[in-house]
Amino acid sequence: MAERSLTFAQAINEAMHLAMEKDPDVLCYGLGVDDPKRIFGTTEGLQEAFGEARVFDMPTSENGMLGIGIGAALDDMKPVMVHQRLDFFLLAMDQLVNAAAKWFYMFGGQRSVPITIRLMLGRGWGQGPTHSQNLQAWFAHIPGLKVVMPATAADAKGLLLASIFDPNPVVFLEHRWLHHQEGNVPPGWQDDVLGKAKVLRAGTDVTLVAISYQVVEALRAAEVLQAAGISAEVIDLRTVQPIDWATIEASIAKTGRVLVLDTGALTCSVSSEIVARSAEKQFAQLKTAPARIAMPDVPEPTSYGLTKEFHPDAREIVKQVCQMCGLKDFAHLLQRLPFTEHHDVPGEWFKGPF
């Protein structure tokens, strides 16, 4: 089959069209779904194709939006709710945690809440401390929720379709830098499975478990490490709840080293959970202490100057892996990772295809 390249945003848009064509009970709503930019283009053409009754804008009333979605889901609809910033959704956490996530359990499996909540997160120009938070660990901590974080265009399509048709609530987290990333996306319906990671690059010396945008940095780092004779296996986690422990553990058993790359703050992060589990279950197989790279435990600055050193990238990964492998002279490797003109926008290397 010939390859077909789409952006991450186009892949999400295609998944929405396919889901709404397949099932008249699928709804799409949220602030800005019908505005000129159509939420990075992800809701482009939906209202024209499926009408205002199924695709509609909402006022900035986060708690009300989720309540409507939960009610619709209990009435056998499949709502897809969208927030352009994850931070806006925090006003609705009570209904998510105490209602949607628990319904199936509390009522003995008689009814479930099949809602998909699309939230954008991550860095970007001037996003600042209240518009860029990566709170996947919050959601992953709640029993009853599935949490999805695709990194490639193909996975954005396949995992969104799987999320929409999952019988219980799914939080679907999109890093805003990924919307312009390109990749091969098969046409037509795409079956995918929640809770299954992918090995994007095979290796024998170190396991890099990457989440969301950090998958891009992990692949960059792996290329540079290869030049030093270090073979890095890159795992795209894809979902942070449930975690695909089997894939991670098989890789660690092979390499004996694991470095986890998270987009969230370091303390109590998803990376913390993976490091803890690897130490608990595979201590005897580890050649060196497991490690993690995540965001600092401070609010993200807004200013251009202050954000310059805030986000860890492929350089930090290369440094950490070299230290884990006992390679002391690695300065020449870092020179293979040139700085972009501006640190707060993706470089040309970023677009893919992946």
Contacts of 148 (CB under 8 A, 6+ apart): 159, 160, 162, 163, 170, 171, 172, 173, 194, 238, 239, 240
* 261, 218 contact by CB (below 8 A): yes
Phi, psi torsion values for 271, nearest 5 degrees: -60, -35
- Residue of 62, 182, 217, 300 marked catalytic: 62
Partners of 233 in the β-ladder: 207
* 263, 217 contact by CB (below 8 A): no
131: annotated active-site residue: yes
Which one, of 154, 137, 259, 258, lies nearest residue 198 by Cα? 154
Residue with tokens 């909540």: 117
* 261, 167 contact by CB (below 8 A): no
- Residue of 14, 44, 83, 131 marked catalytic: 131
Burial readout 342-351 (b: 16 or more C-beta within 10 A, e: otherwise): ebeebeeebe
Distances (CA, A) of 255 to 145, 147, 205, 233, 259: 31, 27, 5, 8, 11
Catalytic residues, which ones?
62, 131
